[in-house]
Amino acid sequence: MRQAGRYLPEYRALRARADGFLEFCLTPELAVEASLQPIRRFGLDGAILFSDILVIPHALGLGVHFEDGQGPVVEPVRDAAAAGRLSTSALAHRLRPVWETVARLKAALPPEVALIGFAGAPWTVATYMVEGGSSRDFAAVRGWAYRDPVGFAQLIDLLVEATAIHLNRQVEAGAQVLQIFESWAGALPGEEFRRWGVEPVARLIAAVKTAHPGVPVILFPRGAGTTYADWAAESGADVIGLDCGVPLEWAARTLAGRCILQGNLDPVALVAGGAALDAAAERILDRLGSKPLVFNLGHGVLPHTPSEHVDRLVALVRRWRG
């Protein structure tokens, strides 16, 4: 999950130095500093690049902006003709600031802190592009996929191509691990989750592994529900990120033998703090900690999270690890 954010006063001060959120992400000086802030404050084992999954639609030539408190707004792509007008011709030019951020970040980080690059999965990025932003029912993107699967596949294929370039360039700039966010896996129809979700991600991971065979890939299919096991078995990911709704016993029984697990502390438990936080964290360590585990949250840090609760959590996990 994004480690930096509004819950940190130093982040809020830094954020005030850029007008738009996209500009903030695309200014290496600011994005490097945002990526480093949580590492300095909490001494975490891994640093995640500060960026956004919507740099890809921006790089494909679409207007993208973020309204405060409203979420992202993307110039919508509603049919095959509109998808056909998208192009990767300016991709390298528009994504270069992200790759430069990765390179500067790699140089700035202590060698023992792993640098994690990331991108959105094709389906998830497509939902923003087709809906024009966030959505409650995903009716536009699902509707297009039902009505015109051939045309929709063109958009998905373009996203696989662009995202593979983006991830590979992050590795070349110094990222040691990659994470793919399928944040809207839960919006995939049960009969279409392979076609629009798992298969494009598998192609993306294969493209990354072909270029960089050793790089570990974390996949976070948030809300995958009953299909979590299929994502783990068929995507080619090395690590599967669990959302907060996945019971630990189920994960231990069904997934733990198949891949490394990451997650899944409820960010609301991190807001609650105290004994509730300790109990929630200890349960994860008890039930998943006998196998390799990337301890993490099951969703992003909430803005009103007290940073002392993060200190407490980090100390607890460090004590457990010994």
Q: What is the separation of C-alpha 8 from the centre of its chain, rounded to a whole number of angstroms?
A: 20
Q: Which residues, at least 6 apart from 183, have a Cβ–Cβ distance to it below 8 Å?
A: 53, 120, 121, 124, 220, 222
User: Annotated catalytic residue: which of 7, 52, 142, 266?
Assistant: 52
CA-based max dimension of the chain: 57
Residue 70 as a binder of a copy of itself (CB under 8 A): the answer is no
- 161 or 230, CB closer to a copy of itself? 230
Q: Pinpoint the alpha helices (H) of 148-264.
A: 149-173, 193, 199-211, 228-234, 248-254
- 99 or 295, CB closer to a copy of itself? 295
- 46 or 143, CB closer to a copy of itself? 143
DSSP 198: I
Whether residue 49 contacts residue 116, with contact meaning beta carbons closer than 8 Å, is answered with yes
Residue 224 as a binder of a copy of itself (CB under 8 A): the answer is yes
Instruction: Return the residue of 174, 225, 236, 289 that touches a copy of itself, per CB under 8 A.
Output: 225
Rg (CA), the chain: 19
Q: Helices 139-147 and 122-131: crossing angle, nearest 10°?
A: 110
Instruction: Return the residue of 16, 150, 226, 257 that touches a copy of itself, per CB under 8 A.
Output: 226
DSSP 18: S
Instruction: Return the residue of 191, 213, 257, 308 that touches a copy of itself, per CB under 8 A.
Output: 191
For this structure, is 128 an active site residue?
yes
For this structure, is 6 an active site residue?
yes
Peptide bond just before 168 cis, omega within 30 deg: no
For this structure, is 286 an active site residue?
no
Stretch 250-289 residues interacting with a copy of itself (CB under 8 A): 250, 254, 264, 266-269, 271-272, 274, 276, 280, 283
Whether residue 41 contacts residue 34, with contact meaning beta carbons closer than 8 Å, is answered with no
CA dist 314 and 190 (Å) reads 37
CA dist 151 and 155 (Å) reads 7
- 148 or 172, CB closer to a copy of itself? 148
Residue 139 as a binder of a copy of itself (CB under 8 A): the answer is yes
Residue 6 as a binder of a copy of itself (CB under 8 A): the answer is no
Nearest distance from C-beta of residue 228 to a copy of itself, angstroms = 6
Instruction: Return the residue of 110, 190, 213, 214 that touches a copy of itself, per CB under 8 A.
Output: 190
Whether residue 240 contacts residue 255, with contact meaning beta carbons closer than 8 Å, is answered with yes
- 103 or 302, CB closer to a copy of itself? 302
Q: Which residues are catalytic?
A: 2, 6, 15, 52, 128
- Interface residues with a copy of itself (CB under 8 A) are 137-139, 142-143, 146-147, 186-191, 193, 223-228, 242, 244-248, 250, 254, 264, 266-269, 271-272, 274, 276, 280, 283, 298-299, 302, 304
